[in-house]
Structure 1
Amino acid sequence: MIPSFLDYETLRLIWWLFLGVLLIGFAIMDGFDLGVGTLLPFIGRTDSERRVMINSIGPVWEGNQVWLILGGGAIFAAFPAIYSAAFSGFYIAMFLTLVGLIMRPVGFDYRNKVSDPLWRTCWDWALFVGGFVPSLIFGVAFGNLLQGVPFRLDDTLRVYYEGSFFGLLNPLGLLCGVLSVTMLAAQGAAYLNIKTEGVLQQRARTVGRVMTLVALALFILAGLWVASGVQGYAISSPVVGDGPSNPLLKTVVRETGSWMANYGKYPWMIAVPLVGIFAALAAALLVSVSPGIAFIANSLFIASVVATCGVSMFPFLMPSSLDPASSLTAYDATSSAFTLFVMLIATLIFLPIILAYTSFVFRVLRGKVTAEYVARNSKSLY
C-alpha cells in the first residue's frame, strides 16, 4: 500500500532526483578511475610510476563501477522509455563505451603477467582507451541531449531512431565530450595527488590544476552556447504530474533560450552552476595546499556540472528533435507508481549500505601507494 503523501507525481520527482544522484555518484567515484586511466601514459614516465598509478585505483575501481550499474538499473526500472530510446539510438556509442570499460579489467589483470616493455606499453594504452573513450562518449551524450535526439514515437509508443553515430559528433556534442574528458582527468589527477608522492605527485598537481581550469572554461563556454544558440524545449500544454506515462499527450515547443527558463522560474537554481564555478577555482587553488579538500572541491565541481544539465532541462530527460511531442520527461516516461514505490523502499535500504561499505573500504585503504611498496609486492600487485 502506497502512503497517501507519496502520490505519483512525488514518486516521479523523487526518482528524477535519485537518477541525478546516481549519475553524480558515478561521475565522481568512477570518474577518478577513468581519469587515472586517461592520464596513465602521460603522467607515468616509467614502469614503476605507472604501476603506482594503476595500484592506486586497483583495489577500488570495481566497487566504484557499482554506480554505473545502479544508474543503468535505475533507468531500466524507473524510466523504461528512456532506456529503450537511449540504448537503441545510441547503440554504437554504447558498444564503444562497453569496449572501453572492458579494456580496464583486462588491462589490469594482464599488464603485469609479462615483464616485456612492449607488452606493458600496449596494455598501458589499452587502459588509456578504457579511460578516455567512456569519458568522451558520456560527455557527447549529454551534449546531444541538450540539442535533442533524432527519435520519434508512433501511436503505440514504439521508438524509431533516425539518426547516425557520426551525427552525434556535432560541435556542441564534441565540446561537451572534451569537457567530460578534462573534468574526469582533473578528478583522476586530484586522486593521484592524495595517493602518490614525490615527482609523480608534482606532475599530478600540475596536470590537475590545468585540467580543472580548462574544464571550467569549457563549462562556461558550453553554458553561454546553450543559452544563446541552442533551441531548448518547453511544454506548452498543462503539465499533468500524476497522469499516464504517455509522452504523446503533451504539446512541446522549441525556442532558443528555453533551457534558461527554469532559472527565471526558480531563481535558486542559479546557485547550481555558480557553486561549480567557485568549486573549480577552489580545487585549482588548493591542489598544492590541501589535496583532500582539493579532491572534494573537484568532486563538487563535477556534481555541479551534471546537476546544471539536469535542472536546466527539467522536466525533460530525452527531448526529441524529430518530433518534440515525443520528448520523454520525468512525468511521462516512468514506470507505474507501485514500481517506483517498491524501488524507493529498496533504494532506501540498500543505498546506505553501499555508502557505508564504500566509506569503510576507502578508510581501510587510506594512505599513499609508493614505488617501494609496489616493488616489494611486485608479484601480488598489478
Structure 2
Amino acid sequence: MFDYETLRLIWWLFIGVVGIAFAITEGFDFGTGTLLPFVGKTDVERRIILNTVGATWEGNQVWLILLGGAIFAIWPPVYATLFSGLYVAMLLVLFSLFFRPVGFDYRSKLEDTRWRSAWDWALFLGGTLPPLLLGVLVGNLLLGLPFHLDRDLRAFYDGSFWALLSPFALLCGVGGVLLTSFHGALFLKWRSEGVVHARSIKAISILGPALLAVLAVITFWTFAGIDRPELTAMAGTAAPSNPLHKTVIANGTGWWAHFTGHPWMLLAPLAGFGGFSLAWLLGKGRSRMAAFWASSLGITGIALTVGFGLFPFLLISSTDPGSSLTLWDASSSYATLSLTFWITVIFLPIVLLYTRWVYKIIWGSVTESTVLEDSHTLY
C-alpha cells in the first residue's frame, strides 16, 4: 500500500486529470455556446450547432461536479477557502450554468423567432460567463488570494469580489473565453458540414492568433512580473496536515527560475503553445480530428503549466504567505486518501470507458437534413 506522501502526490495527479478532462470536454461545450449567435445565422444552423453537443453536454458538465467533490474530499481547507472567500464569483458561475439546461430543453419548444433568439443569447451567456470567471479564478491563483488562517485553522478571506478583477486576472478571463471559443470552433468544424463548417473555419483563423497572443502576454507577465512565494521549511511531506507548520517567504526565486530549475517542466508550456499553434494551422485546412486533438494537447499543456508552476502550492495567500495551502499540509487523513484512492481506481476507468462508448455511438456530422427529419427528439 502507498504511504501518506505518495497518496498525496497521487491525488494531486488525479485531480489534475479531472481538471484537464473538464477543460477539454466542457471547453468545446462552452465554445459552441459562445459561437452560437455568430456561426449560426438561421434557426436551422443554430439547431445544427446545438445538436453537435446535444447528446454529451450534460455528461461533460459532470466533470465540474466531480472536480468540486474531489477537492471537498481530498483538500477540505482548499474547498473551504475557495467557496467561502469566492462565494459571489462561484454563485455567478453557478447562475450562468443555469441557462444551459433550460436553454437546451426549452429553446425549440415554441416556433417563435423572439423566443428562440432569447434562448440563443441565454446559451451564449451560459457558454461565455463560466470560462470568463474560471479564467479570472486561475489568474488569482497565480497572483495569490488575500486570506489567512487563525490558530484554529479557520480561514478568513480578506478581500472582496471586485478585488479579484485585477488587470492580470481579467486578461486570464479573456484567455479562458478565447480558449473555449477556439476549441469549440474546432469541434464544430469536425462535426458539421456546409455553411456552419465554413464559418467555423473562419472563426478558427481569427481566434487562433488571438488566443496565442493573449497566452503569450499572460506567460510573459507571469514569468517576469509576478512574485512567487517559496517554501523554506515544513513539518514533512508525510506529517499530519497543518498548514501553519511551515515557513514561507513572499518573494522566492520567481516563476521563470522555478521552471528552469526543473527543465522538464518547460515541456508543459511548449506543449501548450505547440498544441494550439498546430491546431490553428490544421484547423484552417482540411483537417478535422487532428486539429481538435492538437487543441486538446494545448489545453493539457496550459493546465500542466499552471499546476507545475504552483507546485507544491494549491492556494497562495497574498496577505499571509505562511497560511498558503500546499498538497503536503492541506490534505485529508491517510485513511480518507486511501479509501477514495481505491474507489477512484475502480470507478474512474469505468466512467472513461463509458464516455468513450457514448462518443463512439453518437459520432458523425450533424447536417441540415438530420435536424429537419427529427424535430421532436433533437434540439
Same fold flag (TM > 0.5)? yes
- Alignment deviations for residues 321-357 of structure 1 (CA, whole Å, 9 cap, x no partner): 1111000111111001111111111111111111100
1:329 aligned partner: 326
- For 1:141-152, what aligned pairs fall within 5 Å after superposition? 141-152=137-148
Amino acid at match of 2:306: C
1:207 aligned partner: 203
- Alignment deviations for residues 116-141 of structure 1 (CA, whole Å, 9 cap, x no partner): 10111100010011000101011000
CA contact (8 A) 2:230 2:252 kept: no
CA contact (8 A) 1:262 1:312 kept: yes
Query: Given the alignment of the two structures, is residue 160 of structure 1 paired with residue 160 of structure 2, yes or no?
Result: no
State the secondary structure of the residue aligned to 1:247. coil
- Alignment deviations for residues 192-237 of structure 1 (CA, whole Å, 9 cap, x no partner): 0111011111111121232222212211211110111111111011
2:194 corresponds to which of 187, 198, 204: 198
1:95 aligned partner: 91
Following the alignment from structure 1 to structure 2, what is the Cα–Cα distance between the partners of residues 217 and 256?
Answer: 28
2:110 aligned partner: 114
Residue ranges of structure 1 left out of the alignment (5+ in a row): none
2:247 aligned partner: 251
Query: Given the alignment of the two structures, is residue 35 of structure 1 paired with residue 43 of structure 2, yes or no?
Result: no
Deviation at 1:19, TM superposition (A): 1.2
State the secondary structure of the residue aligned to 1:310. helix
Following the alignment from structure 1 to structure 2, what is the Cα–Cα distance between the partners of residues 101 and 174?
Answer: 20
**Farther-moved stretch of structure 1 (296-305 vs 247-256):** 247-256
State the secondary structure of the residue aligned to 1:255. coil
Deviation at 1:253, TM superposition (A): 1.1
Deviation at 1:262, TM superposition (A): 2.9
TM-score when scaled to structure 1? 0.97
2:73 aligned partner: 77
Amino acid at match of 2:113: P
Amino acid at match of 1:194: W
1:299 corresponds to which of 296, 299, 306: 296
Q: How many residues align?
A: 378
CA contact (8 A) 1:235 1:253 kept: yes
Query: Given the alignment of the two structures, is residue 47 of structure 1 paired with residue 47 of structure 2, yes or no?
Result: no
1:313 aligned partner: 310
**Farther-moved stretch of structure 1 (212-221 vs 350-359):** 212-221
Following the alignment from structure 1 to structure 2, what is the Cα–Cα distance between the partners of residues 239 and 301?
Answer: 37
Following the alignment from structure 1 to structure 2, what is the Cα–Cα distance between the partners of residues 345 and 261?
Answer: 37
2:366 aligned partner: 369
Deviation at 1:290, TM superposition (A): 1.4
CA contact (8 A) 2:149 2:323 kept: yes
Amino acid at match of 2:338: F
2:343 corresponds to which of 338, 343, 346: 346
**Farther-moved stretch of structure 1 (371-380 vs 155-164):** 371-380
CA contact (8 A) 2:234 2:245 kept: no
C-alpha spacing 1:165/1:264, structure 2 compared with 1 (3 Å): same
Following the alignment from structure 2 to structure 1, what is the Cα–Cα distance between the partners of residues 211 and 15?
Answer: 23
1:8 corresponds to which of 4, 10, 19: 4
What's the Cα RMSD here? 1.1
Deviation at 1:294, TM superposition (A): 0.2
Deviation at 1:106, TM superposition (A): 0.2
Deviation at 1:243, TM superposition (A): 1.2
CA contact (8 A) 1:229 1:256 kept: no
1:180 aligned partner: 176
2:231 aligned partner: 235
Amino acid at match of 2:162: F
**Farther-moved stretch of structure 1 (114-123 vs 280-289):** 280-289
2:14 aligned partner: 18
Residue ranges of structure 2 left out of the alignment (5+ in a row): none
CA contact (8 A) 2:230 2:253 kept: no
2:120 aligned partner: 124
State the secondary structure of the residue aligned to 1:356. helix
CA contact (8 A) 2:186 2:204 kept: yes
Deviation at 1:358, TM superposition (A): 0.6
2:263 corresponds to which of 257, 267, 270: 267
Percent of residue pairs bearing the same amino acid type = 49
2:58 corresponds to which of 52, 57, 62: 62
TM-score when scaled to structure 2? 0.98
- Alignment deviations for residues 228-257 of structure 1 (CA, whole Å, 9 cap, x no partner): 111111101146111121111111112275
**Farther-moved stretch of structure 1 (359-368 vs 215-224):** 215-224
2:134 aligned partner: 138
Amino acid at match of 2:355: T
